[in-house]
Amino acid sequence: MRRRGALPFAAVALAVTATFLSTGAASAEPANKEQLLGSWTQTDEGSQSAWLSAAGDQGQYAEYGFDWSTDYCSYSPDNPGGFAFSNACARHDFGYRNYKALGAFAAHKSRLDSAFYEDMKRVCAAYSGEQRTSCDNTAWYYYKAVSWLGSAKAQDGAAHAA
């Protein structure tokens, strides 16, 4: 009789252990999440290109639980004066939202704002003369706005104004 009781107990113990382990593994994020986030939020063009590619194939990164939501340039025009800043604003949102979720926003905010500015300057590089000057000036004002307003809003936990 002793053997019959031992077998079902062992089977139940294994089933409970397997369920617990599979539940824990399913909810865990990949260990390299912050490293990948960092690679997509640098100031250089390669980082911007990598993020644009990833944003176009978000399903490939579903296991990371990234927040891809964006309101683009918030309360400012996404394409002021015809300058296409919407992707720069979307990447900026991505960085802000995901570093806030990791509790590491303050350590990365300055770089995120600089990456935003560099993204806009790359847009401006396609222009010349007065259009280039106008684009560069607009990019500077957008950058200064997020540098200042992003800090103020980050302090009260609200979403940033990009």
Overall average pLDDT of the 2-7 stretch? 48
Q: Are residues 116 and 141 in the same domain?
A: yes
| Alpha-carbon distances of 99 from 102, 105, 109, rounded to whole Å | 5, 5, 8
**Helix runs in 40-125, H state only:** 45-56, 86-102, 105-124
92 is catalytic: yes
Number of H helices, E strands in the chain: 6, 0
Residues 6+ apart with CB under 8 A from 34: 102, 104
Catalytic residue of the set 41, 73, 92, 116: 92
Clarify whether residues 43 and 69 are in a common domain.
yes
Asked whether residue 90 falls in the same domain as residue 11, the answer is no
Q: What is the pLDDT of residues 96-130, one digit of tens each?
A: 999 999 999 999 999 999 999 999 999 999 999 99
Q: Do 83 and 21 reside in the same domain of the chain?
A: no
Query: Same domain for 133 and 147?
Result: yes
- Provide the domain limits for residue 18: 1-30
pLDDT at 144 over 70: yes
Residue 83, domain CATH: 1.20.90.10
> Across the chain, what does the average pLDDT equal?
84
Question: Which tokens sit at 23?
Answer: 């539940």
Q: Please write the tens of the pLDDT for every residue from 51-66.
A: 999 999 999 999 999 9
